[in-house]
């Protein structure tokens, strides 16, 4: 049994990261963020990386939140440093050049929901529970939810969740756009395998370019964003992927990227 708090499984460049503190419901502390940052440092250098999937160990939780035992006696300065470490680490996860997908099982609360928000999309088991309950502890979300949540579900729903602290089930998370799909818990692994096959079968430069176009374009006006898309579209033709992909289509075979 590995003692690592971030367990890494690599299949054809699709890397699955499992946050592994199941006895603590995978609660986030400084050590978890330090280890995750180290793993991300390795992934950032990999040219063969196709996608990153992130999940939590055990049957009960994706991540049930930040570690309250560590936070309870923090001074304002210590809280700022802890939030800064978390924000920097999740930003590195968010800006990886490949798709980053959260596979959410069970509780996805507080910092857990903030990890899911830093991913490109999330898929949930039908027993998943989401929420930003920080206000019930006398604090607010500190790992990005006050900014990423309104960008994902709209400001009114974000304020609903962040100020009431209420929890929502997977069906409501799907309805408001917090997750893309909901499925039985035992189907998450099959989905991960399916996604691995899909992403491994697509042009890696094309996939990275699609992510860059969406992410970078959101911060620009429409005309500038469309110009970015045109540039990235054109740059695809500087490589070998279009020839292989379109040649395979004409030959009625699967492409070999």
What amino acid positions are annotated as catalytic residues?
Answer: 114, 134
Mean local confidence (pLDDT), 77-88: 98
Specify the domain boundaries for CATH 3.90.226.10 within the chain.
Answer: 6-199
What pLDDT band is residue 132 in, cutting at 50, 70 and 90? very high
Out of 3.40.50.620, 3.90.79.10, 3.30.910.20, 3.90.226.10, the CATH code matching 6-199 is 3.90.226.10
What pLDDT band is residue 2 in, cutting at 50, 70 and 90? low
String of DSSP letters for 94-108: HT-SS-EEEEE-SEE
String of DSSP letters for 192-249: HHHHHHHHHTS-HHHHHHHHHHHHHHTTS-HHHHHHHHHHHHHHHTTSSHHHHHHHHH
CATH number of this structure's domain 203-251: 1.10.12.10
- Under DSSP, the state recorded for 79 is H
Q: pTM of this prediction?
A: 0.94
pLDDT digits (tens, 9 = 90+) for 173-213: 999 999 999 999 999 999 999 999 998 899 999 999 999 99
Extract the runs of DSSP E, i.e. beta strands, from the chain: 6-11, 14-19, 51-56, 61-63, 100-104, 107-109, 121-125, 129-131, 167-169, 181-183
Specify the domain boundaries for CATH 1.10.12.10 within the chain.
Answer: 203-251
pLDDT of residue 12: 85
């Amino acid at each position: 049994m590995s003692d690592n708090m971030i367990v890494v499984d690599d299949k054809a460049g699709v890397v699955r990261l499992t946050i592994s503190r199941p006895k603590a419901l995978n609660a986030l502390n400084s050590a978890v963020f330090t280890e995750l940052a180290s793993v991300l440092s390795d992934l950032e250098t990999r040219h063969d990386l196709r996608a990153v999937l992130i999940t939590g160990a055990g049957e009960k939780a994706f991540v049930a939140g930040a570690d309250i035992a560590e936070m309870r006696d923090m001074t304002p300065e210590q809280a700022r440093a802890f939030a800064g470490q978390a924000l920097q680490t999740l930003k590195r996860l968010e800006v990886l050049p490949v798709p980053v997908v959260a596979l959410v099982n069970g509780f996805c609360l507080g910092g857990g929901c903030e990890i899911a928000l830093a991913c490109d999309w999330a898929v949930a088991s039908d027993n998943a529970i989401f929420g930003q309950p920080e206000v019930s502890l006398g604090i607010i979300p500190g790992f990005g939810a006050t900014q990423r949540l309104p960008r994902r579900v709209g400001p009114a729903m974000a304020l609903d969740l962040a100020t009431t602290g209420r929890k929502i089930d997977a069906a409501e998370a799907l309805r408001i756009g917090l997750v893309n799909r909901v499925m039985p818990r035992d189907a998450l692994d099959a989905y991960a395998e399916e996604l691995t096959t899909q992403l491994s079968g697509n042009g890696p430069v094309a996939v990275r370019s699609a992510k860059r176009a969406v992410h970078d374009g959101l911060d620009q006006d429409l005309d500038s964003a469309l110009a970015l898309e045109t540039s990235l579209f054109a740059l695809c033709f500087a490589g070998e992927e279009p020839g292989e992909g379109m040649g395979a289509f004409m030959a009625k075979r699967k492409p070999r990227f």
